[in-house]
Structure 1
């Protein structure tokens, strides 16, 4: 069995069922601003920061659309939704992280989300002190699918890329981990992996807690 020193987690779609919240928020935003409705637009945004999402915005939205206003509306709607309904965890996160720490793994978070969203989700579940390092999208030059966020997380931990295992749910996240030359386990959320994506993964698993079977 391969031995890693640290587990680097994505957040949205991996630890929390928040991609569906983002989807709902985008559908409401499209209606509010009379924008073209596209499920593929929403899927292509998964795992991206605001900056790295520009290529998706340009591909799907008309010229002159109120990008900043619409994006902020989406963010505000998603946050209010989470405050009302809560960010649903993918499993018993406290139990999972305790088990990993007992096995000697160091834990870190590498999320494209904004810092306030990360803090809200972690505090909601009482796991804000679990991670040794938390790196968010604004802390790196290029967001996923670029490798920057995972390389920066490993650097902050003082570890080599070979020492890190990434846990991801999205295509952009898998591409980022693969580009960083790190092993990655995919737990699909809204997008099922094709053969090309599967080939980039150490394993593809059905549920988050299944990672304990190889750790």
Structure 2
């Protein structure tokens, strides 16, 4: 299925793309594994063994959803706020020590959008401080016309609000936007906003129902130009 346009989307395939909305973590930035490492280390700091399998369940989930998941799993006696504060500290240290890298194909794709004059935004589940810090460290802070974080919306992914807000900020009707996502939660948010989505899986394999509604599932961002300029 990867690398191919999925069936059932012939009409939307031919709709012009006038704006692109990117997820950030795991899509632009190779940051999800760092976030998981930071969660595991934060647990150890507090004397708890937080397994990687549990941490993966938080991939693509906004902070409030992650807190709910921790409380449901570990109970109210777990030092939830200290846990996430320590995770943020460790993640920031990892990034400041140059462990954060771009995903394959990011810069050529952004250069293409510059050439085509297409507006682009980020819709991320990360906080404003985290997004600002990470994008600045990898030199992407000035490559987007809008950056919508979890702090800018009432409801995070999988609610459509982040994508609808991003589309509004770049002045493009959702029907003419393309969303690029790695996580099931993010893909569902774009689909709920009636925005075409291409999924580039990172740490999580998207479920079949999400794939069935996607425009495509591809290996990396180097495949995206063909969907933006299909005549090329």
Instruction: Provide TM-score, normalisation by structure 1.
Output: 0.93
Say if 1:41 and 1:56, in contact at 8 Å, map to a contact too. Answer: no
Structure 1 residues 74 and 5: alpha-carbon distance in aligned structure 2, compared to 1, 3 A threshold: same
Question: Is 2:61 the partner of 1:48?
Answer: yes
What count of residue pairs does the alignment treat as equivalent? 215
Question: Is 2:37 the partner of 1:37?
Answer: no
Q: Which of 52, 60, 68 is residue 81 of structure 2 equivalent to?
A: 68
SS at match of 1:45: coil
- 1:160 is matched with 173
Say if 1:161 and 1:180, in contact at 8 Å, map to a contact too. Answer: yes
Q: Which moved more, 1:82-91 or 1:3-12?
A: 82-91
Structure-2 separation of matches of 1:150 and 1:52 = 18
1:180 Cα offset (Å): 1.2
Cα shift readout 1:181-209 (whole Å, capped 9, x = no counterpart): 11111000001122112112110000112
Q: Which of 95, 101, 123 is residue 108 of structure 2 equivalent to?
A: 95
| CA-atom RMSD in angstroms | 1.6
Cα shift readout 1:5-62 (whole Å, capped 9, x = no counterpart): 1100010000011000011111111222233523342122111221232331233222
Say if 2:15 and 2:176, in contact at 8 Å, map to a contact too. Answer: no
Q: Which moved more, 1:60-69 or 1:183-192?
A: 60-69
Q: Which of 193, 202, 209 is residue 180 of structure 1 equivalent to?
A: 193
- 2:161 is matched with 148
Instruction: Provide TM-score, normalisation by structure 2.
Output: 0.87
Q: Which moved more, 1:13-22 or 1:80-89?
A: 80-89
